[in-house]
Chain A
Amino acid sequence: MQQISVIARQTFKEAVRNKILFVFIILGLTTICCSVFMPVVGDGREKIKIVESMCFRSITFFGTLAAILLSASSIPTDIENRVLSTVTTKPVQRTTIILGKIIGFIYIIGVELIVMGGVSYALIKFTALKQSLQGNSELVAREQFDPDTLQITGESTRKIGNVSWIEGGGKGSSVWKFKGLYSKDRNDDLEIKADFLVESKKRFSLNIPINIKIINPGTGKVLTESIEISRNKPDLLRLSGESLDGSGELTVVVSPENSGDYIGINSDSLRVFFGKKSFGYNFLKGLTIISFQFFLMVIIAVLGSTFLSLPVNILFCLFVFFCGNITDFMRDLSTVINVFETHEHEHGLSVLMKKSNVFMILLDYVIRKPILLLSYILPDLRNFGVGKYFMDGINIPCKTVFMSFGYAVLYTFFCLPISFVIFKRREMA
């Protein structure tokens, strides 16, 4: 443990004395501070959104860049300069060197995160204060509730992938049940956010009318709304929190109004927001999740540095970072490559069909399957994306924090032993 700490301190000292740490911090802070001067169209909430978005993007980008460049370069540089040849002649296990380096990188990234996070928090608070003085907006972290159950009824229900399609005209409906809807302040607004896919036999129709029935199972009160929803554009329905009558339960029934109109839904398509949490606590949770991403990138960079040269390792890490942010796109791309032609099913919805030929088989093995495999092997960095929570003013569920921690730990357990084995076998020529 003493040796790990010695190597960790050494790694930190190196980053400080080489001034690399300061470069990343200064660049990050410059971008963060620039967010205040960004022109905004809209109300005060939009201004806060811009500042929040810029802050989190800057922290994520410069933090990840620092994590990659520092941890990807340290071991290869030490090997190239033969410093590690001297260190490994001392009674130090090679695993100790790896662990020491990783902890050193965590110190470095931690300092960067604290400085950039602190400045960001102050800036967001300042912006929010300025806006609230003008009566525009305030910082919020609304509590989000996912449905407890989702039932789909009706004859013409079809399922394509994880999306269930429901036809209107009384032929089908979706029933969401929510439980545990409690807030400290019962006067808080209760918001229902619907994010559906929309199809219609009327090919040029972008909007379709839907019926939303909101039932309070405790009191039996029913509220019916009819709204128009757009293709892939979320809609928001706002109710008074008092309508719950303290029962904490809500049932929402959604169905398209007209026959020939379809809505595509999955379990995430309808959410309820009720109650507010502390913004500071939410901000801290956001930073914690980002720090897990940095940690994951450090682990991957260290793994690469045990067998790759410096430039190749940096490229490898940037590739992982880039692909890790577009894993969904990679999976979609592999599906698109799999498509040869499309045709329409009987309800007018587009269906993807495949037809084999030599070219398709070649494409399948050379591009599609490797892309698909990569999308599953590489870490899905969207698991660490917190920008969307702050943009929408949503409280980050503790479950998300633990999930992202678990995800980073899972990769660590996978990557670290490989790093140990490779580095142990590596010759310090």
Chain B
Amino acid sequence: MNNDIAIETEDLTKAYKSFWGRRKILALDKLNITIQKGEIFGLLGPNGSGKTTTLKLLLGLISPTEGRAYVLGKSTNDVAIKSKIGFLPEESCFYRFLNADETLDFYGQLFRIPGKERKLRINRLVEQVGLEFARKRPLRQYSKGMLRRIGIAQALINDPDLVILDEPTSGLDPIGTKETKDIILALKERGKTVLLCSHLLSDVQDICDRVAILDKGKLQLAGTIDELLSSKNVVEVLIRNLPDEAIIEVETFIKEKKGEVISIRNSSGTLEDLFLKIYAANISNSKADV
């Protein structure tokens, strides 16, 4: 197997059976994907498309009905390879009576990370996910977003080579979403492989190198964002500070050249951009007040 490949599946299929052993649902149908080391790969699809099933198969939580999967060159049944994997489940499922420090310590011990090193990592991760203010609070008192943050921290406790994130931004506010995206991008910079699955297309578009789109358990499309979104006969031109008369002239020019103008409008940006702009301004104001 190629050493540059982080994940490879061969006709990976999962069918859930009824109580009587008959096939009930085909959750995943002959999935073939290859994820290179060091890339951020997005798995997209509507609810029930087979995204989470794929992740569970890759993590060995469930067994495939047919086909095979390899993670970091090893079979998914290999327990030892899990020491190089970090996983954030779709729902943050942890022992609710533990606090953030204890939770990370528990998972750190499962990875056999030595005490001192574990303590350093816990401090760094708690700070990184912004939970210093609640690190001694039991998880049952956490909000959904806070649970998501501790989930991300536990996924990174072993400094994994491969990070698998199921809906990483679900339940997070725009700042949390931005911070999570930054963490993912930082992981890429450190040469880590990230497989994330989400139905929030904008998140995936922002950070993923390549994506695969699943629907009803089948792979519909796979490729880089540019490959999938580029349209060869449509050109987008962004212009700043152009007077209205000039816009009319440009439009006339295009018509003369037998081109079709689809729309001319002022650039609006996204709500996320606006929110982050206001948040950044508030932060700088409060710093100035201090």
Contacts and interface: CB of A to CB of B under 8 A. Distances in A.
B110 A91 contact: yes
B93 A83 contact: yes
Given A86-B93, A429-B62, A2 B82 contact: no
A89 B82 contact: yes
22 contacts: A3-B112, A10-B106, A13-B97, A82-B93, A85-B56, A86-B94, A89-B59, A89-B60, A89-B61, A89-B89, A90-B83, A90-B107, A90-B110, A90-B111, A91-B79, A91-B82, A92-B79, A92-B82, A93-B79, A425-B63, A427-B62, A428-B61
Contact of A83 (B61, B83, B94): B94
A92 B97 contact: no
Given A89-B60, A93-B79, A429-B56, 15 more contacts: A2-B112, A3-B112, A10-B106, A13-B98, A81-B93, A82-B93, A83-B94, A83-B95, A88-B59, A88-B61, A89-B85, A89-B89, A91-B83, A91-B110, A428-B62
A14 B95 CA distance: 8
Of the listed residues B82, B83, B87, B109, the one surrounded by the most CB atoms of chain A closer than 10 A to its CB is: B109
A89 B87 contact: yes
A89 B94 CA distance: 13
Nearest to B151: A86
Interface string A1-36: 011001000100110011000000000000000000
Nearest to B84: A91
B74 to A, nearest CB: 12
B235 to A, nearest CB: 46
Contacts of B59: 88-89
Given A14-B95, A18-B97, A428-B56, A87 B61 contact: no
B91 interface: yes
Contacts of A427: 61-63
A87 B89 CA distance: 11
Interface string B135-163: 00000000000000000001000000000
Nearest to B85: A89
Interface of B: 56, 59-63, 79-83, 85, 87, 89, 91, 93-95, 97-98, 106-107, 109-112, 154
A104 B95 CA distance: 15
A86 B83 contact: no
Contact of A6 (B81, B87, B110): B110
A88 B110 CA distance: 10
Contacts of B82: 89-92
A85 B93 contact: yes
Contacts of A87: 110
Contacts of B80: 91
B79 A429 contact: no
A319 B97 CA distance: 31
A6 B87 CA distance: 20
A91 B111 contact: yes
B273 to A, nearest CB: 34
A81 to B, nearest CB: 6
Contact of A86 (B62, B87, B112): B87
B109 A2 contact: yes
Interface in A90-118: 90-93
Contacts of A6: 106, 109-110
Contact of B110 (A3, A17, A81, A82): A3
A425 B111 CA distance: 22
A81 B61 CA distance: 15
A282 to B, nearest CB: 40
Nearest to A87: B110
A14 B96 CA distance: 9
A86 B97 contact: no
B6 to A, nearest CB: 16
Contacts of A92: 79, 82, 110
